[in-house]
Structure 1
Amino acid sequence: MNRLLPGLSRRNLGRELLAGVTLIAIAIPLNIGYAQIAGLPATAGLYALVLPTIVWVVLTSSRQLVASPDASSAALVAASIGGLAAAGSQGYLTMALAQAVICGVLFAAMAVFKLGFLANFLSRPILIGFIAGLALDVLVSQVAKMLGVHIDSGSGFTEKVAELATGLGRVNPWSVLISAAAVAILLLGRRLLPSLPWALVVLVVATLAVSLTHAGDAGVAVLGEVPAGPPVLTWPVLGWQQWLALVPSAIALTAVASAEGLLVSRSYGEKRRYPTRANRDLLAFGAANLAAGASGSFAVGASTSRTAAMDQAGSRTQLPSLVLAVGTVLLLLFGTALLAGIPSPAIGAIVGIAVLPLLGFREFRELWRLSRTEFWIGIACLAVTVLVGAIAGIVVAFVLALINLARRAAAPSIDVLAEDDDPAASLVEDAPAGAVTADGVIVVRMAAPLFFANGTVFAQAVRSAVEAAGSAHVRHLVIDMEAITDVDVTGAQSFDGLRSWLDDARVALAFSRVRAGARPRLAHFGIIRDDDPVYVTNRAAVAALSPTEPSAAERSR
């Protein structure tokens, strides 16, 4: 049992089982709501809690991360498939299954080729903006459900807002009353007794209220009949053109889920002091999504909110997820009749409250305080996601990530240790920019590899430093190579131009602190030549090149 569920013991068995019951109360109502967001039947949300969950538990390295569809993935499913098939149709469901299968293949490929590092290309501001955009789109749909106003779930954000605004004259007062009561119970209940599963309480109370008052006859929408029985193994059958049409959205789903999932997995592993393996978790996500596509569900990712709830409940193993799978099977076998009368406004209130934190108000405020540039990057992702679409949002997110990476790489930190007339001045190790060296010697340090994005910048910085010091007085240039661990063809070409310029200016070139592992590659590209002086430390270089003759121990070729 410990091999399957690391961390489980007789001492914590009771606590883990209780946490599993809590997870059932949280996950079932949310997954029903997320299935509706995705334009799928309630069973699609419930089936995700069975086979995909079991597969995830068996394969993951994380002891706590809960795998399930969430609001952002559901919104992305609706946004991407809504233009390809009518929501609620059999073709729509088949495409959702196929999309999950493609996600599974992509996750597995990332694991096999150890591409987990690609998830780091979605920086925190970009993730905040993208998920906030999806959450805003979801929130509009849930507000409409809470008001009893019907809008097209497959429409874009602006169309949904327009439909909601024009439908305000058709607001159902009973739906508003149920929603208001549900929101009050959820907010006040979490504040007074946060350990209680208030989402389940809301569903039970709202269902009883609608049943006793016959509010359904007054126009309050209910969930309707939910087919009984466990998930049945199946396989989506589509034409190859339809499969190809789903690839971009599957890439977007995989990118977001891997970035968020690996981050949450690693953070809880560090917090609770157990090891996690990124590529194994990617493989687990892949297998879970394949299981989802083969059992009537849709794309599965990491549930941050449920993972946090389990951590607060004291759970430190994956046993609650297994309890959730068993509880869901029992519900599908014996309790689906209880789900039919659940009022849609109550589901809308539960999902609406759940997605509010995803709007990222606190995160955007923190970004504004720390970095206005990254704040506006997040806002740009949000705007594109809600105004153009989820796929465009993820494309813009990747483009902005690459632009931000290139911008930082093209402007590395370059420290110039300038020459001074005082021959008694000395250089200390790791001196800051502007520190003084010996007469006629300049030491330059770049804190980055030398490649196409910064080669010209580095060469120009060196020329400017020599000219500012007075090229007639500078006799030696020492390049601190500690951070220059790699070089490419373009960077080497820029360096050749710099070397020619230094030769014309009669400035001798030397190197210090060259890493042993990097030296063969630097020599291969001609950065360091056989006759170039190479010194162990900056101090040794300055001592050797200053008017005072150095000792033999200070210089190392």
Structure 2
Amino acid sequence: MIDLKACPLWLYRLLPFLRWWPNVTAHTFKADSVAALTGALIVLPQAVAFATIAGLPPEYGLYAAMVPAVVAALWGSSWHLVSGPTTAISIVVFAAISPLAEPGSPQFVTLVLTLTFLAGAIQLAMGLARLGGLVNFISHTVIIGFTAGAAILIAASQIKNFFGLDMPRGAHFHEVLIHFGSHLTDIQPWVATVGAATLAAGILARRYLPKLPYMIVAMVVGSVTAAVLNARLGQEATGILTVGALAASFPPLSMPDFSLTAIKQTIFPATIIAVLALTEAVAIARSVATRSDQRIDSNQEFVGQGLSNLAGSFFSGYASSGSFNRSGVNYASGAKTPLAAAMSALFLLLIVLLVAPLAAYLPVPSMAAILFIVAWSLIDFHHIGEIVKRHKRERVVLALTFVGTLVDLEKGIFLGILVSLLFYLYRTSQPSIRELVPDPAELRNPRRKFVAKTPDTATCPQMPILRVEGSIFFGAVEHVQRHFRNVDEADPDKKNLLITARAIGFIDLAGAEMLAKESNRRRKLGGNLYLVGVQPDFCEMLRRSGQVDTVGEDQIFRHKGEALQAIYPRLDNEICRRCTARIFDECHVALPDGTPRAVADQREAEAALARLHAQGATAS
């Protein structure tokens, strides 16, 4: 018998499920089975709805929740993440492929499989390249704006099914609204009645029957309503269409189209889906992990998602990602290991074999009504309100992502990412620079506590103290250098400058060169540049760039007390003699040349008295 705990590291990387497999016991298996059955019941109506959004036959949503879910669970890193079809991915699939082929047609399905394969390949490549940290650069605001825009598009795409209208295929959002407004008289009343009954039942069930799956309740009510109307008036009179019976079978083998034409048509949307799906999956995994006290490996999650989509493309599944609803339910249901997510796919298969024929009674307007509810639930009104009220720049990112998604869903999320990164670069290129002074209340404190300067605070006439908070890199050099030069340009006596560098997170070659130039400039003025609280990485960059000698190792200090004791004797003795601010402890002890302060003050008083006598004699 193989001892899994003694496996080499390379085997763990190749088969990551070996890490948690020894934790599977009779107790965890029972808990995982309950969670898996709960998840299978929930995913059944969702998968059918998501496949409808994607323009695929309903059973393809079920297939996407089977093999991909198993592979993602075994090769991912999260204990509770459940993968499968999702709303956002489904709407991107539809938007990308519907202009190329008729939704639901064999050509459409084949292109979707190619799209799924390419998305999986991109995800796997990113995981193997250890690019998991890239998802941190996609802000939460972008995801909120994109999801809200996708929700509106979902609702718009189902208007024709809800009201029984004919609409041109691939119409843009504004075209759908214009067409709907100009064809209000063509609404089929019985179709709309079934949709309204389903919508009302879903809303009421979600609010007053939280323990029951609201989608199933709404489907039953819609199906009964349609059956009654068809029985009394006839299907030709009502115009109510049904989804049709689902294929009750294992996910059939499939083959993507690997022709150059198909790859060219799908590579760009595949990249969007890959990035969006990875962001969604990692964000959900981290969210659940905060409750389960687990650490998520983003790179392994990339690998798991990539392999799941690669496998799904050969088992009739379309692009999948982590599902927040199903992952949350999986955790809340008591799942202990990723085996629960894998088993949910098996339970789903058994359920499909039993209930697939019942889909023949499911009305199309009922599916549209359910998707209206799904779309509404996708819009995060709480966070949107907070962003609009409190965050000016995030408000712009949200608006551009939302509008960009409505105009062109494939490019909307990239527009949001680009704008958010531009704001990020703008912020980092302008690190906060504050002037500090020693705390007057703790002048004798050996720790030399510094506080922010206020308009009433006295400052040193020779050496201001600046705190730089942020990174000094090529994009921030001009901003930092301008602040340094403003000091002596406003007051020529301030030839010295002390920089507290503890809050400087990173410095690059351009930043090191800027400090060297500033040090040389101040030496020519008769002063110097001093650094205190320098971190090891900061010093290492100065050494590697060859600038440590230019700055001067004797100008670099670890602690404030050490710095002030070394710098004070280098200050201008005459300016210190006349100074009344005396903000440093050393100022009260002696002048920079070592003359005791009491003696210096007495001499200054005698000199002032002599000047007064001289002025009096001159006046007389």
Structure-1-length-normalised TM-score: 0.90
User: Do the aligned partners of residues 57 and 421 (structure 1) sit closer, same or farther apart at CA in structure 2, a change above 3 Å counting?
Assistant: closer
- Partner Cα separation in structure 1 for residue 282 and residue 84 of structure 2: 14
Distance apart, 1:486 and its partner CA: 3.4
1:234-253 to structure 2, matched below 5 A, reads 234-253=254-273
User: Do the aligned partners of residues 310 and 169 (structure 1) sit closer, same or farther apart at CA in structure 2, a change above 3 Å counting?
Assistant: farther
**SS of the residue 2:74 aligns to:** helix
Deviations 1:481-511 (A, max 9, x none): 2233433343344334433432332221222
- Partner Cα separation in structure 2 for residue 447 and residue 248 of structure 1: 39
Contact kept? 1:132, 1:359, Cα under 8 Å: yes
Contact kept? 1:262, 1:281, Cα under 8 Å: yes
Q: 2:71 aligns with which of 55, 72, 76?
A: 55
- Partner AA of 1:347 in structure 2: M
* Greater mean alpha carbon deviation, residues 28-37 or residues 238-247: 238-247
Q: 1:226 aligns with which of 228, 241, 246?
A: 246
Distance apart, 1:87 and its partner CA: 2.0
Structure 2 match to 1:555:
none
- Partner Cα separation in structure 1 for residue 500 and residue 518 of structure 2: 15
- Partner Cα separation in structure 2 for residue 455 and residue 3 of structure 1: 47
Deviations 1:202-230 (A, max 9, x none): 22343344345426432112112433321
- Partner AA of 2:538 in structure 1: A
Which ranges of structure 1 fall in alignment gaps of 5 or more residues?
551-557
Asked if residue 134 in structure 1 is aligned to residue 150 in structure 2, the reply is yes
Q: 1:72 aligns with which of 88, 97, 105?
A: 88
User: Do the aligned partners of residues 19 and 481 (structure 1) sit closer, same or farther apart at CA in structure 2, a change above 3 Å counting?
Assistant: same
Distance apart, 1:177 and its partner CA: 2.1
Structure 2 match to 1:162:
178
1:420-435 to structure 2, matched below 5 A, reads 428-429=448-449, 431-433=451-453
Structure 2 match to 1:258:
278
Q: Percent identity?
A: 25
Contact kept? 1:68, 1:300, Cα under 8 Å: yes
- Partner AA of 1:99 in structure 2: L
- Partner Cα separation in structure 1 for residue 35 and residue 221 of structure 2: 22
- Partner Cα separation in structure 1 for residue 326 and residue 547 of structure 2: 53
Asked if residue 471 in structure 1 is aligned to residue 487 in structure 2, the reply is no
Distance apart, 1:447 and its partner CA: 1.7
Asked if residue 401 in structure 1 is aligned to residue 423 in structure 2, the reply is no
User: Do the aligned partners of residues 292 and 2 (structure 1) sit closer, same or farther apart at CA in structure 2, a change above 3 Å counting?
Assistant: closer
Structure 2 match to 1:310:
330
User: Do the aligned partners of residues 433 and 9 (structure 1) sit closer, same or farther apart at CA in structure 2, a change above 3 Å counting?
Assistant: farther
Deviations 1:335-357 (A, max 9, x none): 43221221111111222212212
* Greater mean alpha carbon deviation, residues 341-350 or residues 219-228: 219-228
Q: 1:286 aligns with which of 302, 306, 324?
A: 306
1:94-493 to structure 2, matched below 5 A, reads 94-152=110-168, 154-214=170-230, 216-217=235-236, 218-387=238-407, 389-417=408-436, 428-429=448-449, 431-433=451-453, 440-468=462-490, 470-472=491-493, 474-493=494-513
Distance apart, 1:13 and its partner CA: 5.2
- Partner Cα separation in structure 2 for residue 108 and residue 2 of structure 1: 20
- Partner Cα separation in structure 2 for residue 317 and residue 168 of structure 1: 52
**SS of the residue 2:296 aligns to:** coil
Aligned pairs, number: 547
**SS of the residue 2:549 aligns to:** coil
- Partner Cα separation in structure 1 for residue 568 and residue 235 of structure 2: 92
**SS of the residue 2:452 aligns to:** coil
Deviations 1:415-455 (A, max 9, x none): 22369999x79883453355766562222221222211100
Asked if residue 87 in structure 1 is aligned to residue 107 in structure 2, the reply is no
Contact kept? 2:92, 2:409, Cα under 8 Å: yes
Q: CA RMSD in A?
A: 2.9
- Partner Cα separation in structure 2 for residue 425 and residue 318 of structure 1: 59
* Greater mean alpha carbon deviation, residues 298-307 or residues 185-194: 185-194
Contact kept? 1:420, 1:437, Cα under 8 Å: no
Structure 1 match to 2:558:
536
Contact kept? 2:477, 2:514, Cα under 8 Å: yes
- Partner Cα separation in structure 1 for residue 517 and residue 558 of structure 2: 26
Greater share of helix:
2
- Partner Cα separation in structure 2 for residue 168 and residue 319 of structure 1: 51
Deviations 1:42-97 (A, max 9, x none): 12111111111111121222122221121111111111112222322222211111
* Greater mean alpha carbon deviation, residues 158-167 or residues 370-379: 158-167
**SS of the residue 1:179 aligns to:** helix
- Partner AA of 1:451 in structure 2: F
- Partner Cα separation in structure 2 for residue 18 and residue 173 of structure 1: 43
Structure 2 match to 1:554:
none
Distance apart, 1:372 and its partner CA: 2.4
Contact kept? 1:51, 1:292, Cα under 8 Å: yes
Contact kept? 1:452, 1:488, Cα under 8 Å: yes
Structure-2-length-normalised TM-score: 0.81
Compare CA radii of gyration and give the structure with the larger one. 2
Contact kept? 1:419, 1:439, Cα under 8 Å: no
**SS of the residue 1:478 aligns to:** strand
Distance apart, 1:119 and its partner CA: 0.9
**SS of the residue 1:446 aligns to:** strand
Which ranges of structure 2 fall in alignment gaps of 5 or more residues?
1-16, 570-585, 590-620
Contact kept? 2:438, 2:448, Cα under 8 Å: no
- Partner AA of 1:442 in structure 2: P
Q: 1:524 aligns with which of 535, 544, 554?
A: 544
- Partner Cα separation in structure 2 for residue 178 and residue 522 of structure 1: 72
Structure 1 match to 2:524:
504
User: Do the aligned partners of residues 193 and 11 (structure 1) sit closer, same or farther apart at CA in structure 2, a change above 3 Å counting?
Assistant: farther
**SS of the residue 1:510 aligns to:** strand
Contact kept? 1:476, 1:545, Cα under 8 Å: no
* Greater mean alpha carbon deviation, residues 156-165 or residues 445-454: 156-165
User: Do the aligned partners of residues 7 and 27 (structure 1) sit closer, same or farther apart at CA in structure 2, a change above 3 Å counting?
Assistant: farther
